[in-house]
Amino acid sequence: MQALELEDDQYREVRRTVKWLVLQGQLDYASNHLVIPPGEAHATKRRQSSPLVRGIFRLAQAGFGFIRQEGTGEQAAPLEDVFVPEPYVADAFDGDFVEARLVTNRSRSRGGMEGHIERVIKRATRQFSGTFRKSGQENLVLLDGTHLKHPISVGDTRGLPLKNDDKVVVEVVQFPERDGSGGQGVIMEVLGSSKNPAVDTMAVMRQYGLPEEFPEEVMAAAREQADKFDESIPADRRDLTDLLTLTIDPYDARDFDDAISLQEIENDHWRLFVHIADVSHFIPEGSILDQDAKQRATSVYLPDRVVPMIPEIISNHLASLQPDRVRYAKTVEIEFTGGGAVVATQVYNSAIRSDCRLTYEQVDQFLDTPDLMRQKLGDAICDQLQRMHTLAMKLRARRMDQGSLEMDLPEIKIDLDSNGKVRGAHLVVNTESHQVIEEFMLAANQGVATWFDDMKFDFLRRIHPAPERRKLRQLAQFLKDIGIPGDDLENRHAVRRVLKSVKNTPLDYAVNYAVLKATNKAIYGPHREGHYALAMDHYCHFTSPIRRYPDLTIHRMVQKLTEGNKNPSDPMPVLIRLGHHCSDQEKNAEAAERELIRIKLLHHMNKNIGETFEAVVTRVHPDGLYARGIKMPAEGYISIDKLPPDNYRFERKGHRLEGFREGNQFRLGDRVVVKIDKVDMQARELFYGLVSKDRGKGPKHHLKNKAKPATAGTAKKRDRRGGKKKRKH
């Protein structure tokens, strides 16, 4: 304590800080009560005697990663993943084939294997996007999306139209050493100025390996499918064209891949028809269309464009459930009791004709002012909407009663002008029109999965494993620290009560984010593990084959069953590998979406340096805090030296910075007025200054946010768990 020039009464806080640094992997415990830099505690002899493993390395955003071991032989099941802490990632990049040495780590309480990467056997890619910088006579490029803190040298660039801060594509010819130095590369493409919005998009697409166009042979195959299609109804399809059928989509949607019909039948029961565009009819298994779709595995929804999974000739025409056109579908027909319990489920090929294309805004308007909308839409449509709303709310209430979790972390929607520049941003609201469609999509996904499970088939499920006890203990401690009861969190209903208790309070975002971090990420795989957040034992993705390849595999199984194939399943090892691939591609797509949203927001904030707006404190750390704008949803860092002068100490209980000289206090959920101080585009960091803690005490000028009102209907992105609003299930 004397060496640190600290008082004796600060000993407990020092111990807490050391423990936190050990948990973060920045220090290790050693013998004789020592703490040392990570890695030095492992003796060379032990390392040499530990077994080696090989596999594909997957890098997490937080800096650590996992090695996915490969089994031997094409039909062999993959082995357990190996955890790699951040200090031992070495010079590996995401996707590299690596060799690692297994180690023992007592602090890893959740169990499982841990390894330290020894060498990279094969690089996943040598091409990266980056930012060009000239430093004296040296030409450098800072690579995007890597853990490297040092730029690489790109040698002679004479003849290239380059300026400082231009975005480029680099071929790395010599990867950096473990300390990040010594990297060398060659510039392959100059994308243009980093100030150009279109260049941002191209750089992110290059960074994440997103394709710009479909190969010509894929487009030719799509055109061939279009030439063959007519609107005749084959004998092997049920003709449902006389059913009253509606589509409900965002106002700017171009493809309509789901439609709804609903009937009230005897005994106060309901008969729901969920019609999903029959994409499998137009993409034969094993064809060039199928191979390309499988490789992409998902559509990617960037702020200024969509990178589709299948050609738009199919997604926006042949498989788009347009009004007054005969279209082929896979229909899930479910009978419910009056209270919403499932009585029976059928899945079959159909032909439908949509009667009306509605938007979310129109449905919300009907729910708010039904008499006014009846004059515009007519009685038949409005009666159907009322029935749909009634059943959907029953299904929703039933799902919540069963323990389903509704984490409220709204999607950020970027609003662009005609030149692709950001006008503003807002959070998308989950209105009841969205909830209606969401419940019906969930019911269809669950119904198909239950149908397959009853027949004991293997298929690609949407899996959401239950949280680990270690993470639940950490969540309980966090809740206790901020004064929220968090007992028995292994019970889903207890987690629901926590989420309900903070709804529409200043702690809403922080608690929802903490719950999200405590849960696992949903993935694809054939193992029957259920879906934790939805409280469902049977679940798969069926409702979006236009934009998700796993859904297309489920449609093909339905097709094989209708054709009399009694064993439509692929072998388990094939399903496991496909699940890994689709999960990886989904993760890559989400990372690209987040990255570009962050870039667009930062560009917008950079043009508004000095502007002020209201924000909520979302995270508190010993050296500062993070705040997120209320109307402009951008999170930025406020350093402790930007707070009013005081002797601050971080108090874990309450998650607050407390000033012991002047009495200043900043805690999770506090409302503050912040000023945009600085934007670091390369580091993707936003820095705020504090104007005042209490609402309304800052200057009267505010950040101009020319975004549209925060309504759900402005979102193009579709719900990843089956509905049309983005959810991470």
Q: What mean pLDDT is predicted for residues 396-403?
A: 96
609-703 and 127-194 share a CATH fold: yes
More confident residue, 91 or 299: 299
Q: Reply yes or no on whether the pLDDT at 244 is more than 70.
A: yes
Instruction: Report pLDDT for 653.
Output: 80
Are 423 and 416 in contact by the 8 Å Cβ rule? The answer is: yes
Instruction: Report pLDDT for 701.
Output: 36
- pTM, two decimal places: 0.82
**DSSP-derived pairing of the beta strands 184-193 and 238-239:** unpaired
Of 105-119, 505-519, 608-622, 714-728, the one with minimum mean pLDDT is: 714-728
For residue 65 the two structure tokens come to 């990663």
Q: Reply yes or no on whether the pLDDT at 202 is more than 50.
A: yes
Q: Reply yes or no on whether the pLDDT at 206 is more than 50.
A: yes
Q: Kindly list the domain boundaries of the chain, sorted by start residue.
A: 1-39, 127-194, 216-465+521-597, 469-518, 609-703
More confident residue, 71 or 361: 361
The CATH architecture assigned to 127-194 reads Beta Barrel (2.40)
Over the chain, what is the mean pLDDT?
87
The closest of 499, 503, 537 to 518, measured between CA atoms, is 499
Q: Which residue type, as a one-letter code, is found at position 409? A: L
Distance CA 215, CA 310 (A): 11
Q: What is the DSSP letter of 405?
A: -
Q: Which residues contact 220 (CB under 8 A, 6 or more apart)?
A: none
Give the pLDDT confidence of 277-305 residue by residue, as tens digits: 999 999 999 999 999 999 999 999 999 99
For residue 340 the two structure tokens come to 């919403």
Of 19-28, 613-622, 720-729, the one with minimum mean pLDDT is: 720-729
The closest of 111, 113, 86 to 102, measured between CA atoms, is 113
Q: Which residues contact 374 (CB under 8 A, 6 or more apart)?
A: 382
Give the pLDDT confidence of 650-697 residue by residue, as tens digits: 888 878 899 999 999 999 989 999 999 999 887 788 999 999 986 444
More confident residue, 283 or 595: 283
Q: What mean pLDDT is predicted for residues 369-374?
A: 93
Of 68-77, 176-185, 503-512, the one with minimum mean pLDDT is: 68-77
Is the domain defined by 609-703 classed in CATH 2.40.50.140? yes
